[in-house]
Amino acid sequence: MRIFLIYALLVSSFSCHRPSRQIAAMMTPTRTETPEVADYTRHIRAGNSLIANGTEPFWSLTINISKNRMTFTTVDGDSIVTKVPERLDDVRGAFRYDATAESNRLMARFRPDSCVNAMSGQRFDYAVEVTANGKTYTGCGASLGQLMSLNDIWVLKTLHGQPVTVSPPQKELPYIEINLSEGRIGGLAGCNRIMGSVRADTRQVDFGRLATTMMACPGETAQLENSFLKALEGPLSYQIADMTLTLMRDGKPVATFKKVD
């Protein structure tokens, strides 16, 4: 009887203790992660201006304005290729392209909306409806104009809301040069050169792991360089307007850049 009472007390004592750190961690809700940056490299290399795709059945659409080519394909191997017709603007930011090639008619309408591909989970900026030879397909799409605009040299103007100036012996402002076709970034962090990989979609840019040269920087320049490199970590959302690139984290600006003329 005495052994049973001792056992009961031990069980009661352990049950009143707080859960271990491991168990507590399992019980704590995980923080929502930033969506992965989509890979548009092949579309950038091809020079496509607009893209769209859908499921049930699988289909894809590319509009390449520089090559004057609009291409629609399905999983069954059906394909329509036409010249890019004049863009027709509809209400509330929607627009469409309506083309005829021989006996084939192809119409694509892009409507601004947050659209998620049912298969990949990728988020797009437009809901798209394509009509090909009388059959209608629905899916999601993106305009790559802003994305293409990232391909340039951008000089740092502000960092965490503060203007950035040149401090001797520093001779030029930090800058980044983005090349999405090759997936790389170069530039100047302060007194050291930077290099690394970059990936971007229509919403986010990710500079990956950046490498730098190993020069010793004087006090203020070293602080600026460290702060600048820290600001470039992780996927960042971005906006481009009036030749200014704004990088944001959690909706708050961390750095602004001016495009080099």
**Domain residue limits, the chain:** 41-143, 147-259
Say what the pLDDT of residue 34 is. Answer: 57
CB 166 within 8 A of CB 156: no
CB 198 within 8 A of CB 205: yes
- Give the least confident one: 6-10, 70-74, 82-86, 172-176: 6-10
Say what the pLDDT of residue 121 is. Answer: 87
CA distance 1 to 6: 9
Would you give the distance in Å from CA 72 to the centre of its chain? Answer: 25
199-242 pLDDT per residue, tens: 999 999 999 999 999 999 888 899 999 999 999 998 999 999 99
Say what the pLDDT of residue 78 is. Answer: 84
The answer on pLDDT for 12 being more than 50 is no
CA distance 147 to 145: 5
Say what the pLDDT of residue 3 is. Answer: 42
Q: Which amino acid is at 101?
A: A
Say what the pLDDT of residue 219 is. Answer: 84
Strand 244-249 to 193-197 pairing: unpaired
For residue 151, count CB atoms less than 10 angstroms from its CB and return exposed for 0-12, middle for 13-18, buried for 19 or more.
Answer: middle
% residues pLDDT > 90 (the chain): 74
CA distance 47 to 93: 23
Q: Which residue has the higher pLDDT, 15 or 43?
A: 43
Torsion angle, alpha carbons of 224, 237, 256, 232, to 10: 20
Average pLDDT over the chain, rounded to an integer: 87
138-151 pLDDT per residue, tens: 999 999 999 999 99
Helix and strand totals (H; E) in the chain: 5, 20
CB 143 within 8 A of CB 125: yes
- CB neighbour list of residue 259: distance below 8 Å, 6 or more residues apart: 152, 153, 154, 243, 244, 245
- Can you name the CATH fold of 147-259? Lipocalin (2.40.128)
103-133 pLDDT per residue, tens: 889 999 999 999 998 888 899 999 999 999 8
Under DSSP, is residue 13 helix (H, G, I), strand (E, B) or coil? helix
Say what the pLDDT of residue 23 is. Answer: 28
CB 128 within 8 A of CB 111: yes
Q: What share of the chain is helix, strand, coil (3-state, %, to 5)?
A: 20, 45, 40
The answer on pLDDT for 20 being more than 80 is no
Say what the pLDDT of residue 157 is. Answer: 98
pTM listed for this prediction: 0.80
Say what the pLDDT of residue 198 is. Answer: 96
- CB neighbour list of residue 135: distance below 8 Å, 6 or more residues apart: none
Say what the pLDDT of residue 33 is. Answer: 52
Q: Which amino acid is at 85?
A: P
Q: pLDDT confidence of 168, banded at 50, 70, 90?
A: confident
